[in-house]
Structure 1
Amino acid sequence: MVYVSNFSLGHKLLKRNQEDTQRLIAQPRIMWPDAPESKVWTDFIEECITVSDGRIRAKPADFSHEIYRGSYGLKRAAIHLMVQAYIQARTLNRTRIEIEDVHRAYISSSYYSYRVDVEELERIAIQKNSKRDDLNCPFGSPIRSNVVQFVRKERDNRVAQAAFKGALTAEERETHKSLKLDTDMKAQKHQRPKRPSLGKPTNDDLGNAFSDYFGDKDDE
């Protein structure tokens, strides 16, 4: 017989008497999130792009990386992140998802609860401990090395980017922002060009316009 449980239930079962733990969790098999470069994850992203019917404009490899980065490979979180990314695109009057939309979706209030979980999972992958039983494996199984490497690489990239920005002068930061080198930069509002002022008409202009208008009427 096979029993299925989440981490929270696993922690509770470990507190039971030995006759229960030996029957229920003597040989646990841990189901981890898919690795970022695994075929299962790649196939999942490809299917999501297919069913989007052309609404995902980003390159598949870049899109896969950003979705994994924002969901830790959790399918439910990944789907919710894609939905919120599309909502972000629609707020900008676009019908296709771009990478910037995924970034905005990740920091949005609609993704807050998932973001808290993802960031805690990243911390667990590096520090190996957590007070949250629902995210911490109760059986002491190590997290896959490729997932840990992915998390550490992303953390190092964010640290390097923050250090780079901190070293820039005010003028350099403005140049950096104008060149859109930072993919997390907020979309700039499009400003419509102002029409040139026609100026205030003189009395002669008004008189000529009056004569032209009523002169045409008299000729009819």
Structure 2
Amino acid sequence: MNKIIETRFSGCLDVNDIRTKVTVKPEPVSRLESLDIMVAADVLSSTLKQIFIPNEFSLAFIKSMVGKASMHSQRLFASEAIYSSNVFHPPEVEVSPICLTGLAGVGKSQTIAALRKVLPPPMEFSCDLFDGSVPLTSDWYASARGKASGKALLEHFVFGDKKPAGKTTVAQLLRLARRSANTQGVSLVVLDETQYFNTGLGTAKVTDVLLTVAAIGPPTAFLSNYSLVHKLMTRNSEDKQRLLANPEIMLPDDPDSADWHHYITECIRVSNGAIDADTREMAAEIYRCTFGLKRLVVHILTLAYVECRNAGRYSVNLSDIVRAYRSIAYTVSAKEVETLQLLALGGKPKKASQDLVCPFELSDAMKSNVVKFARDDRHGRVIAKVFDSAMTDTERAAMKHLDEHILDAPKNSKPHRRASVVKLSADQQVTAFNTFVSTLATSKPKKPKQ
């Protein structure tokens, strides 16, 4: 229709551009040692939460959703006649939404926040249908927190913070939402934290809410933890085929992947010396204590910083991570991590831990590295347990003291290098050889045996 529409999504589909736009590397914290322990821990926690290093899944998901939004925008603005028809006579279109699911704290909401950064910013659009210009909006976003029904969500999309004048029905609001979305060029609808619907609403009501949002027309994505998806799995086939036909499963980073090591490296950089340990060892220990969940990484690093300050130090080491893992504040998370490790090894889930079990069947390739890490970790723990049980109480106490001393001991930042070999001249080599021979004990050679 015009140049603004044609170039609306230009530069939004290149992976390198996406990575540049969404990567967040905050400034390192400073002078934590001069602050009170809890204040310093809060500063460190809030800074770590800002970090976003997109992994392969996040980049692929963002590119896919931006591509869907771009295609919808092209269809919506294919011609002035089509745009006019969509505005004044919005068609009844029901899309099959994308279900982005994963463990709590894996980074789903951060990925959606990154996605919204990539989408085109608001812009003004002029055409012959309206006097003046119309503001275009790339996406509609809403959180399920505090929304009790599909009607409340539609009112949020159509009226924003304003309250509608008079009573309206869901059917009326749906027509208004379709017209408003087409007028504003909305190309993506995102519903976040839908697991909170499950707290006060029955599964049938939650299903109705999700289908209502999907009926607006643009490509739709809803975010949910495993808990809600398990509930939706109990619905009738027609509901499951609509809501769960396009799942996107966000798994924790592999423990040996570059994505995981880049994230831990960034955490260490941002801490500005508050975390001081070998990056590879720290990455392995943190993964063992968090199962790769970014929310738990921030939690345990914050607790570890409190532990190190209570010990009279200002830098977190591996022993602080271990103490944080065993702390009261991390008890609930530690139990969940241990359950996840058990499930990764093929253990049977309990009814109470269904929220930790992926409702979809995962391929072996998607979980092989995590399983290997969990299996190797368990093997190491078994060996340590056998070794510990074979020791006496005195030996066990001595070993415990030695382990704590090794963990707390500062490590050299640079490895010790051997002195380079001095090259000698021919005369110096002869002199050195004669000196060496003179140091040897002289003895008469023994007679050979007859």
Normalised to the residue count of structure 2, the TM-score between the two structures is: 0.39
> Are the structure 2 counterparts of residues 175 and 4 from structure 1 closer, same or farther at C-alpha, using a change threshold of 3 Å?
closer
126, 136, 152: which is aligned to 2:375? 152
Q: CA RMSD in A?
A: 1.9
Residue in structure 2 matched with residue 39 of structure 1 by the alignment: 258
Question: Which shows bigger deviation, 170-179 or 101-110?
Answer: 170-179
Query: d(CA) in 1 for partners of 2:370 and 2:260?
Result: 12
Is contact 2:345-2:375 (8 Å) kept?
yes
1:179 corresponds in structure 2 to 402
Instruction: Go from structure 1 to structure 2 and tell me whether the alpha carbon gap of 1:118 and 1:86 turns closer, same or farther (over 3 Å shift).
Output: same
Q: For 1:84, what is the secondary structure of its paired residue?
A: helix
Choose which of 356, 369, 386 in structure 2 pairs with 1:163.
Answer: 386
Q: Are the structure 2 counterparts of residues 184 and 52 from structure 1 closer, same or farther at C-alpha, using a change threshold of 3 Å?
A: closer
Where is the strand percentage greater, Structure 1 or Structure 2? 2
Partner residue, 1:194: none
Query: For 2:404 and 2:316, how far apart are their aligned partners in 1?
Result: 19
Whether contact under 8 Å (1:3, 1:24) holds in the other structure is no
Q: Does 1:141 align with 2:141?
A: no
The CA deviation string for residues 173-203 of structure 1, in whole angstroms up to 9 with x for no partner, is 2442343379789xxxxxxxxxxxxxxxxxx
- 1:123/1:62 Cα in 2 relative to 1: closer, same or farther (>3 Å)? same
Q: Say whether residues 1:125 and 2:335 are aligned partners.
A: no
The equivalent of 2:306 in structure 1 is 87
> Secondary structure of 2:248's match?
coil
Distance (whole Å) between structure 2 residues aligned to residue 6 and residue 174 of structure 1:
44
Distance of 1:113 and 1:181 partners within structure 2: 25
- Judged with a 3 Å threshold, the aligned counterparts in structure 2 of structure 1 residues 183 and 140 are, in CA distance, closer, same or farther, namely farther
Give the Cα–Cα distance (whole angstroms) in 1 for the partners of residues 273 and 285 of structure 2. 18
Is contact 1:6–1:134 with CA below 8 Å preserved after alignment?
yes
- Any runs of at least 4 consecutive aligned residues in structure 1 with deviations exceeding 2 A, and if so which? 1-4, 169-185
Cα deviations by residue, 1:42-98 (Å, 9 ceiling, x for unpaired): 111011011101111111111111111100000000110000000000110111001
The count of aligned residue pairs is 185
Q: Give 1 or 2 for the bigger CA radius of gyration.
A: 2
1:81-120 equivalences under 5 Å are 81-120=300-339
1:77 equivalent among 296, 320, 323 = 296
CA distance in 2, matches of 1:127, 1:161: 22
- For the residue of structure 1 that corresponds to 2:354, the secondary structure is coil
Range 137-146 or range 25-34, more displaced: 137-146
Q: For residue 108 of structure 1, what is the amino acid of its counterpart?
A: S
Distance 1:65 1:91 in 2: 24
Residue 169 of structure 1: how far off its partner (Å): 2.2
Provide the rounded CA distance (Å) in 1 between the counterparts of 2:256 and 2:288. 12
What is the identity, as a one-letter code, of the residue corresponding to 1:160?
Answer: I
3-state secondary structure, aligned to 1:62: helix
Tell me if the contact between 2:318 and 2:407 (Cα under 8 Å) persists in the aligned partners.
no
34-43 vs 67-76, which moves further: 34-43
- Contact (CA 8 Å) 1:36, 1:73: kept in 2 or not? yes
Gaps of 5+ in 1: 186-220
CA–CA distance in 1 between the matches of 2:407 and 2:323?
A: 8
SS at 1:144 equivalent: helix
3-state SS of the aligned residue for 1:134?
A: helix
The structure-2 alpha-carbon separation of the partners of 1:170 and 1:56, relative to structure 1 and needing over 3 Å to count, comes to same
Aligned equivalent of 2:222: 3
Going from structure 1 to structure 2, the CA distance change for 1:126 and 1:182 (only over 3 Å counts) comes to farther
Task: List runs of 5+ in structure 2 lacking aligned partners.
Answer: 1-218, 409-450
Residue 128 of structure 1: how far off its partner (Å):
4.4
